[in-house]
Structure 1
Amino acid sequence: MKIGFNEGCNRFCKDHSVLKDLDLCEKYGFDYIDVQSECLNRDLEAGKYTIEELGEWFKTHKLKMLSYNALIFFNMKQTQAEKDAVMAELDEIIRRCNILGCKMIVVVPSMDLPVHATVGEIKDDAVAVLKEMVKKVEPHGIRLSLEFCGAPTMSINRFEYAYDIVKAVDSPFVGITLDQYHFHAMASQWESLEQADGKYIFVWHLNGMEDMPCGAAYNNDEKRLWPGEPGDCLDHKRYADTLKKIGFTGDVCTMEVFRPAYYELSQEENVKKAAEVTRAHVAKYC
């Protein structure tokens, strides 16, 4: 099992930059990185480097980009202008991915919907949008990974909802990002994951979390922990064993935490710690 780093871990560390993350991830032995769109956009707008310069970096180093994380709030748009904006953003992300050598785009569902949509209506909309997206990414060999988000206000917030959507799209270019925190935070069903086909899971996000009530408003991303830290309530062996059993073929375990205390570390200390924890987790469970 290879190890990956998601920039959610250190995006707010002092003087953060994506280019520095690339160097640090290579230094501490990560195989892959998930580049966070907000970090990339921030650096590009500040003129720290160009997307082409990042592309050249990847050509001369071992570290690879696992995913562009993410195109956010892709579904349930209410006007044609909103829908067109999503597809225009996808076009720009595809352009960047081709430069960076990236073959995966994580897509995140919309939140705080202005309409009281049912699960079925949300599914139908997401399936239609993802099918249109496939027409754009397939010629480039880029896959889409739908990340359900375990919060009450998210339109797709449980594994079983995401799995139904991906099954309905029925394309080898569309799968699921399984984030352990999100799975637990809205009480996704273990039975659904255990009966799933592992080929539909493209990305595995590793993290721990404090033992908060599922669905509580204060149970947010800030409650994530390095896996195995004191207070971590997640059953890591069950996640690993289940993914093995159902045939997960992604072969990468990517650390993603968003804990304010971890942002107090230097960018290098953060990456070093993430590498140590991820490597120890893989050795123990994978």
Structure 2
Amino acid sequence: MEYCEKYGFDYIDIQSECLDRDLAEGKYTIEELGEWFNTHNLSMLSYNALVRFNMKETQEEKDAVMAELDEIIRRCLILDCKMIVVVPSWDIVLKKTRGEIREDAVAILKEMLKKVESHGIKLSIEFCGAPGMTINRFEDAYAIVEEIDSPLVGVTLDQYHFHAMASDWAALEKADGKKIFVWHLNDMEDMPCGASYNNDEIRLWPGDPRGCLDHQHFADTLKKIGFEGDCCTIEVFRPDYYELNQEENVRTAAEVTRSHVNKYWKQPALSLS
């Protein structure tokens, strides 16, 4: 986080697994982390994430999701965080149709909305471009958001996930940009959509010559539909990059993101995910 400030990031999407690990190991308390944010310029863009939020088979499982949400809300209030990313379940046993999955997601998100709305906290659905994911294309996530029709419920648009399961450009081009809360920048090697090896390991920094994503199309479309996030995040997860030391990683992320965004967009705020 200190390196993020040093190299000009405005926000950070704190990864829940990293936060849970550090809290369990006693590296700091949530209150100490909140005090750090109070005394620094870096802010939290989102709490990333509450995972496997949908398609629960028992009331006990549904109650566990709501209990986790309660704890995340508690943390967000301490950290002055106004958005929670929610990630769909994957590899479910029951064979459900897209319609059934959409109906279930709408129902549970409406219940979640009741808990966050008094705090002004947003919920952002991150569809994930993998065959086993219950919500794996933009158009499915957006249909859920449209049906709920709340200013507090939107979509996280990750360029990698959009391409990885061949989301429909026409659906994005007809969307309301105000319902896209988070824009994850990245690139990727040109792998077949839906292939088992088309995973986070083949992500790249945006602008890498090995990349295949149509960045101009993303930028032009988001401008056209009225995207108002005023912030983009860098999210890569490539194992090669974890071999860099922490400062080198953050510095590189800032440099490539700023350079990339300047090609396509008036300089927005930057966030590290």
One fold, TM greater than 0.5?
yes
SS at match of 1:131: helix
Which range is displaced more, 69-78 or 276-285? 276-285
- Indicate yes or no: 2:80 matched with 1:69: no
AA aligned to 1:282 is V
Question: Highest relative contact order (Cα 8 Å, sep 6+), 1 or 2?
Answer: 1
Shift, 1:228, TM fit: 1.2
Tell me how far apart the structure 1 counterparts of residues 230 and 92 of structure 2 sit (CA, whole Å): 35
SS at match of 1:280: helix
AA aligned to 1:263 is Y
SS at match of 2:48: strand
Partner residue, 2:203: 224
Partner residue, 2:83: 104
Q: What TM-score, normalized by structure 2, do the two folds share?
A: 0.96
Where does 1:188-227 land on structure 2 (aligned, <5 Å)?
188-227=167-206
Shift, 1:230, TM fit: 2.4
Tell me how far apart the structure 2 counterparts of residues 55 and 282 of structure 1 sit (CA, whole Å): 30
Where does 1:88-99 land on structure 2 (aligned, <5 Å)?
88-99=67-78
Tell me how far apart the structure 2 counterparts of residues 57 and 277 of structure 1 sit (CA, whole Å): 27
- Indicate yes or no: 2:107 matched with 1:128: yes
Partner residue, 1:244: 223
Post-superposition Cα deviations, 1:54-107, rounded to whole Å, max 9, x if no partner, equal: 100111111110000000000000011100000000000000000000000000
Runs of 4+ with deviation above 2 angstroms: none
Tell me how far apart the structure 2 counterparts of residues 200 and 100 of structure 1 sit (CA, whole Å): 24
Tell me how far apart the structure 1 counterparts of residues 11 and 223 of structure 2 sit (CA, whole Å): 20
AA aligned to 1:89 is E
Partner residue, 2:268: none
List alignment gaps of at least 5 residues for structure 2: 266-273
Tell me how far apart the structure 2 counterparts of residues 248 and 79 of structure 1 sit (CA, whole Å): 38
Partner residue, 1:141: 120
Partner residue, 2:213: 234
Tell me how far apart the structure 1 counterparts of residues 50 and 174 of structure 2 sit (CA, whole Å): 28
Tell me how far apart the structure 2 counterparts of residues 107 and 146 of structure 1 sit (CA, whole Å): 5
Partner residue, 2:92: 113
Post-superposition Cα deviations, 1:211-237, rounded to whole Å, max 9, x if no partner, equal: 000011110111100011121000111
Partner residue, 2:254: 275
Partner residue, 1:16: none
**Which of 135, 153, 161 pairs up with 1:156?**
135
Q: What TM-score, normalized by structure 1, do the two folds share?
A: 0.92
SS at match of 2:236: coil
Post-superposition Cα deviations, 1:13-34, rounded to whole Å, max 9, x if no partner, equal: xxxxxxxxx1110010001100
Post-superposition Cα deviations, 1:107-154, rounded to whole Å, max 9, x if no partner, equal: 000000110000000000000000000000001110000000000000
AA aligned to 2:74 is R
AA aligned to 1:145 is S
List alignment gaps of at least 5 residues for structure 1: 1-21
SS at match of 2:99: helix
AA aligned to 2:29 is T
Partner residue, 1:172: 151
